[in-house]
C-alpha cells in the first residue's frame, strides 16, 4: 500500500502524544488498527529506522514494530524479519544493564548513551491474535525497550544518566564509528 509522505509524518519531541500512555488494542482486526499497522510498516521503511511505535505516527495504541536491518543510521544492526508486537509487556529482564548509543526518529539529530537491560522476556499479541513470548537480547532488546518507552510516555533522553553523554548525530558519526 502506498502512503503519501504527509501521511508518514513522525511525531517530534514536544508533541503531546509522545508523553501519553498508549491505549491497549482491543480489536486487532479492526480496519483502524490494520491501517495503523500498514502505515507503521511503511513509515519505518521510509525513515530507515530499526523500530517504530504507534505514538510516533500520532496513533496512541500499544503497537510497536521491530525492524532491525543494517542501514546508514545503524550500519551494524542485525538483519531480521519485521516483528509486529501488539499490547507488549516486559515480563522478565536481566540484571545486566549496558549503555549503548541510541537515536530516535522523533528526536532527529541527536544520539545518547542509554542504559538498557541486556536481555528481556516479552509477552505480546501477534497480528493473528495469538499470544507469544519471546526473549530479546543485545541490540534487539535495546530496540524493544526504546520503542516500549514510547508506549508508556517516555523517550530515550529520559533514561540518560549524564547529559555529557548526549551528542549531535554529526559528532556521533564522526567520532563513534
Q: Which residue ranges make up the annotated binding site?
A: 104, 146, 150
Three-point CA angle 111, 112, 116, nearest 5°? 125
> Which value, in Å, is the radius of gyration of the alpha carbons in the chain?
15
Annotated binding-site residue numbers for Fe cation: 104, 146, 150
What is the rounded distance in angstroms from the CA atom of residue 100 to the CA atom of residue 97?
A: 10
In the set 9, 147, 169, 170, the catalytic residue is 147
Q: Which phi and psi (to 5°) does residue 130 adopt? A: -80, 155
Number of H helices, E strands in the chain: 3, 8
Return the C-alpha cell found at 48.
530507515
For residue 137, indicate whether it is catalytic: no
Catalytic machinery residues: 147
Amino acid at each position: 500500500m502506498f502512503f503519501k509522505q504527509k501521511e508518514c509524518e513522525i511525531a517530534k519531541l514536544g508533541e503531546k502524544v509522545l508523553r501519553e500512555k498508549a491505549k491497549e488494542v482491543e480489536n486487532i482486526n479492526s480496519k483502524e488498527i490494520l491501517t495503523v499497522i500498514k502505515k507503521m510498516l511503511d513509515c519505518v521503511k521510509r525513515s530507515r529506522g530499526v523500530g517504530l511505535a504507534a505514538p510516533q505516527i500520532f496513533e496512541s495504541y500499544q503497537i510497536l514494530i521491530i525492524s532491525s536491518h543494517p542501514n546508514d543510521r545503524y550500519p551494524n544492526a542485525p538483519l531480521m524479519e519485521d516483528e509486529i508486537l501488539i499490547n507488549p509487556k516486559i515480563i522478565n529482564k536481566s540484571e545486566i544493564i549496558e549503555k549503548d548509543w541510541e537515536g530516535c526518529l522523533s528526536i532527529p539529530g541527536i544520539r545518547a548513551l542509554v542504559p538498557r537491560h541486556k536481555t528481556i522476556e516479552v509477552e505480546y499479541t501477534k497480528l493473528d491474535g495469538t499470544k507469544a513470548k519471546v526473549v530479546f537480547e543485545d541490540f534487539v532488546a535495546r530496540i524493544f525497550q526504546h520503542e516500549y518507552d514510547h508506549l508508556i510516555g517516555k523517550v530515550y533522553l529520559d533514561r540518560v544518566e549524564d547529559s555529557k553523554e548526549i551528542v549531535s548525530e554529526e559528532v556521533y558519526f564522526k567520532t563513534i564509528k
